[in-house]
Amino acid sequence: MLSEEALLALKQGGESERVELKRSTAQGSSIRRAICAFANDLAGEGSIGVILVGLEDDGTCAGLQDRDEAQQKLANWAHGGDILPLPDVEIYHRDLEGCPLIVVEVRPHAEPPVRYQGQVWVRVGTTNNRATPEQERRLSERRRGGDRPFDHRPAPGAGLADLDLDYFRREYLPNAVAPDVLEENQRSTEEQLRSLRFLTDGQPNYGALLVLGHDPRAHIPGAYVQFLRIDGTELADPIKDEKMLHGALPAIMAQLDELFDVHVQVAVDIEAAAREQRRPDYPVSALRQLARNALIHRDYEATHAPVRIYWFSDRIEIHNPGGLYGQVTRENFGKGVTDYRNPLLAEAMHTLGYVQRFGFGIPMALRDLRNNGNPEPRFHFEPTYLAVTVGAAG
């Protein structure tokens, strides 16, 4: 957080390569382009970019109203998924010389290029411009080294032949990159993979294998789901259905959606008014959220265990290898606080539509379970795994 003296100096200096002035959040698209541009840090100086919301172009006070609402709006823009990978921002109130402001500090991203709605924006002087192919190439080459997350690390022995490039061109690219950019783009597939962070040091990384791979288990043994439908309440009871779901994550998620649709049972109640009401024993939407959360946030590196889904006659258990990560704790779990053990997977699943809004999967699942009449789910936290038990609706 910048000191008052530093902020005053930035305010008095006006707009520059690292400062943007905005009178209000009504300039939403422009603010998001600025966040994207500052995160890309085209000059490579490593300096934060600052957006001062509440100032006119000449630096005079704009009289910002309802700062709490404006701050929440800015936070939603920064972390809602329109800007990917998620930028590192700090947003806070400040009064400067009696003028109410909201300060948005944007730190350079370690894994550029950063995109806003599929387009790469960079800061040139006092303006935010769409990046040229050469500028985007420079950003792609400037990525952090040894402290990469697991899904950004190159997979030894993997090559382009291990990836489903047809799926990449047909499904992923149109969702990840703006149509006009794709239309004028003359890049090779390899260059496109590199720009979207699926290549590290010239070869496919673990994230690419999990999202696009023909057979991720050849490189990541635990990349599958064990599904058991049990006729009883104990693991030793007879098994009604057993599935081993493997393949790239989009394929696994599609298979899970089908399984949930098949196994959910719907009860019919006839009320006095002769109006039929149908209530499932589990809301499919909640099961999807919980399973996708497990697949995206699990630990793929330190264990060969799969995600396990055990469907008993009275409950469903989802076991996720890997404990809580980063700033997520038992106290704030499911309250919108989020962190990413696998940031490339999170970005890719958002791009493909499996994640609508970051940080809201668990709250949405809890809401849907509550609305369906299911008991409150029980979460079990351990250093090496996380489990959730969901009881059937009464």
Q: Which range among 109-123, 188-202, 213-227, 266-280 shows the weakest confidence by mean pLDDT?
A: 266-280
Find the helix or strand (DSSP H, E) in which 325 lies. Answer: none
Q: Would you state the pLDDT for residue 281? A: 93
Q: Which range among 32-46, 59-73, 319-333, 378-392 shows the weakest confidence by mean pLDDT?
A: 319-333
Going by their DSSP bridges, the two strands 307-311 and 224-230 should be labelled as parallel
Angle at 344 between CA 341 and CA 348, to 5 degrees: 125
Q: Which amino acid is at 353?
A: G
Mean pLDDT for the stretch of residues 264-280:
65
The residues that bridge with 122 in the sheet, in sequence order, are: 129
158 contacts 142 by C-beta, under 8 angstroms: no
Instruction: Say how far apart CA 125 and CA 278 lie, in whole Å.
Output: 60
Return the percentage of the chain with pLDDT > 70, whole number.
95
Exposure on the CB side of residue 139, measured as CA atoms within 13 A: 29
Q: What is the pLDDT of residues 149-162, one digit of tens each?
A: 899 999 999 999 99
Residue 21 to residues 1, 7, 60, 68, 114: CA-CA distances in angstroms? 18, 12, 10, 19, 21
Question: Angle of helix 284-297 relative to helix 361-372, nearest 10 degrees?
Answer: 160
Q: What is the pLDDT of residues 6-28, one digit of tens each?
A: 998 988 889 999 999 999 999 88
Sheet holding 315-321, edge to edge: 239-246, 224-230, 307-311, 315-321, 385-391, 378-381
Mean pLDDT for the stretch of residues 103-120:
92
Q: Where are the alpha helices (DSSP H) in the chain?
A: 4-13, 28-40, 67-79, 133-141, 165-167, 173-176, 179-184, 189-195, 206-212, 249-263, 284-297, 343-351, 361-372
Residue 338 to residues 293, 330, 347, 351: CA-CA distances in angstroms? 11, 12, 13, 18
Going by their DSSP bridges, the two strands 203-204 and 199-200 should be labelled as antiparallel
The residues that bridge with 387 in the sheet, in sequence order, are: 319, 380
Please state, as a whole number, how many other Cβ atoms lie within 10 Å of the Cβ of residue 291: 25
84 contacts 35 by C-beta, under 8 angstroms: no
Delineate the domains of the chain, giving CATH numbers in brackets: 4-129 (3.30.950.30), 144-218 (no CATH), 224-391 (3.30.565.60)
